[in-house]
Amino acid sequence: MHGSRNSFVLVFLSLLVLPILVIPVSAPTHAQEPLPDVRLLIDVSGSMRESDPQNLREPALELMVQLLPEGSRAGVWTFGQWINMVVPHADVDEQWREKAIAAVSEISNHGLLTNIPDAIELSTFDVERLGHAYRTSVILLTDGKVEVSENPIDNARAARDLLSKVVPELSDWGVTVHTIALSDNADWEFLRAVSQATGGLAERAQTAEELSQVFLQALDIAAPTEQVPMLGGEFLIDESVDEFTVLVFPDEEDTQVELVRPDGASIVLEDAPVGASWYHNERFELITISDPQDGQWQVLAPASITRVNVISHLRLQLDRLPTNIPSGKTPQLGLALADGDAQLSDSELLDLIEVSIRVYRADDQQWEIVLAGTEADAGGELRVDLPMLSEAGRYELVVHVDGRSFAREVSFLTNVIDPQPEIDPTAAVPVQSAGSGFPAWALPTAIGLLLLLAAGAWWIRQGARVADEDDWDDDDPADHYDDDEDYRE
């Protein structure tokens, strides 16, 4: 009977412990624009030798370094098992660029792990001291998953802690994290969760062209710049432009790029005049002209991507949409022209202006809205509803202003997402990760077995004690054994 009682208890305890064994553990008037503050985080783990054998990172990073505007702040960190600040976080100037280019050229793939949480935390070391003068953005490039140790449980815990503790704090302080996955092995759901929670961009890249384009998109958000539109290789520079920069991605490495001034004079790399700066590498050409002639310029080169950024006291002010916005609503875009800090509201000037907003969705659907400057309010501001952005999807917006004697253009991306399903930080991090170490179910299983063994041993002892009491015989002197007496009278 006692044996059957013990068996029943063991079965009962097993049923209680069974869930532990099989369930994984989860744990309006426009204010002064803030200056960009960009933190670049570059994965140097050993797996990058396979994910980036041609070192696509180097020219893409060089592009970022060259395009960061003067007066902004920036720093470069590499991460594998350890985090290294390879370019100090400081004001961007020519000396900073030289240090950054030198550091980028020495990037190697020697890291043993992929410590993304520490990279984000250490690069935002001053988050509590950030002021409103800067717009802080983190751009993280990786090919892998969170890997802080060889134990997948530690990795899952580190990823969840980052999403549940660090990322909300960054969001509260206005820090945006853009993530770029450089391989299919990257933990896309985790990277997307980090970006979405901070209002950042999450992208994948497989080729040099894709990586350069993604970096440009991230930079357009982190450090917005105005452009002048280009058509057929030609672009108009008006007298308000103090400086412009032409970016060209030639179709072939040996392509000769030529810039033609309004007076017909030619500018080439080998004979760049005073006031021209020409940066060349195997992926792109970056030509900056200070105090340029006003008129029609031309770029002569077969190119896949070309853009012209301008620095001018005549500026297009834009209330940009967030990078991620909820579906089911009609966003509104506000824009105005300003000369210096003064917003233009003169009706005669606004009468010469036409504004077009082109919207492109990832499924190739397009829309265009055309407005006249006379539709602006008394302060010179135009506001337009964008009903096409009520549906979920990925959109590119190109805002074009034509003032007859001048033109400006701004482009940016926005993702319209359905409120449900939202990304759950816990669900975005798998409990079991690839790699060596104990599987995620090992610890709860071991605990369950120990509880089961302890409970069984206790019950058996209790059963034996009851058995001794049942077998007690008052007439048997042996049952009156005592430590102090041989027999109890």
Mark whether 240 and 361 lie in a shared domain: no
Asked whether residue 423 is assigned to any structural domain, the reply reads no
Mark whether 62 and 168 lie in a shared domain: yes
Domain harbouring 407, CATH code: 2.60.40.2550
State which of 263, 286, 312 marks the end of a domain. 312
Mark whether 204 and 234 lie in a shared domain: no
Mark whether 363 and 260 lie in a shared domain: no
Residue 479 has pLDDT above 60, yes or no: no
Note the pLDDT of residue 441. Answer: 53
Helix, strand or coil for residue 86? strand
Q: Let me know: does 362 contact 394? Beta carbons within 8 Å.
A: yes
pLDDT digit string, tens, across residues 354-406: 999 999 998 999 999 999 988 989 889 999 999 999 999 999 999 999 998 89
CA distances to 26, 48, 122, 142, 192 from 186, rounded to whole Å, are 20, 11, 21, 7, 11
Q: Which two tokens stand for residue 107?
A: 């990037």
State which of 359, 383, 417 marks the end of a domain. 417
Helix, strand or coil for residue 450? helix
Name residue 78's beta-bridge partners: 42, 84
Asked whether residue 427 is assigned to any structural domain, the reply reads no
Quote the CA–CA distance of 150 and 113 in Å, as a whole number. Answer: 8
Note the pLDDT of residue 427. Answer: 56
State which of 258, 287, 312 marks the end of a domain. 312
Q: Let me know: does 162 contact 146? Beta carbons within 8 Å.
A: yes
Mark whether 144 and 79 lie in a shared domain: yes
Asked whether residue 248 is assigned to any structural domain, the reply reads yes
Quote the CA–CA distance of 310 and 329 in Å, as a whole number. Answer: 33
- What is the pLDDT averaged over residues 277-305? 88
Mark whether 217 and 233 lie in a shared domain: no
Domain harbouring 244, CATH code: 2.60.40
Residue 462 has pLDDT above 70, yes or no: no
Asked whether residue 484 is assigned to any structural domain, the reply reads no
| pLDDT cut 70: percent of the chain above it | 79
CA distances to 74, 125, 214 from 90, rounded to whole Å, are 6, 14, 24
Q: Which of 21-35, 105-119, 437-451 has the lowest mean pLDDT?
A: 21-35
Residue 258, Cβ neighbours under 10 Å: how many?
14
Provide the number of structural domains found in the chain: 4
- What is the pLDDT averaged over residues 284-302? 91
What DSSP letter does each residue of 403-424 carry, written as one string? -SS-EEEEEEEEEEE-SSSPPP
Q: What confidence tier does 249 reach under pLDDT thresholds 50, 70, 90?
A: confident
Max Cα distance, the chain (Å): 129
Q: Which of 94-98, 103-107, 153-157 has the lowest mean pLDDT?
A: 103-107
H runs (alpha helix) in 330-381? 347-350
Mark whether 104 and 157 lie in a shared domain: yes
Q: What confidence tier does 9 reach under pLDDT thresholds 50, 70, 90?
A: very low
Mark whether 297 and 319 lie in a shared domain: no
pLDDT digit string, tens, across residues 184-232: 888 999 999 999 999 999 999 888 788 888 888 888 888 888 899 998 8
Q: Let me know: does 44 contact 80? Beta carbons within 8 Å.
A: yes
Asked whether residue 488 is assigned to any structural domain, the reply reads no
Domain harbouring 126, CATH code: 3.40.50.410
| Average pLDDT of every residue of the chain | 81
Note the pLDDT of residue 196. Answer: 92
- Domain boundaries, position 449: 1-25+440-465
Mark whether 122 and 82 lie in a shared domain: yes
pLDDT digit string, tens, across residues 53-82: 777 788 888 888 999 988 899 999 999 999
Residue 235 has pLDDT above 60, yes or no: yes
Asked whether residue 433 is assigned to any structural domain, the reply reads no
Note the pLDDT of residue 464. Answer: 55
Q: What confidence tier does 20 reach under pLDDT thresholds 50, 70, 90?
A: very low
Residue 480 has pLDDT above 50, yes or no: no
Mark whether 320 and 191 lie in a shared domain: no
Quote the CA–CA distance of 233 and 303 in Å, as a whole number. Answer: 9
Asked whether residue 473 is assigned to any structural domain, the reply reads no
Q: Which of 206-215, 322-331, 464-473 has the lowest mean pLDDT?
A: 464-473
- Strands 35-43 and 73-79, by their bridges, are parallel
Mark whether 285 and 366 lie in a shared domain: no
Compare 272 and 148 and report the one with higher pLDDT.
148
Compare 155 and 464 and report the one with higher pLDDT.
155
Mark whether 446 and 335 lie in a shared domain: no
Note the pLDDT of residue 77. Answer: 95
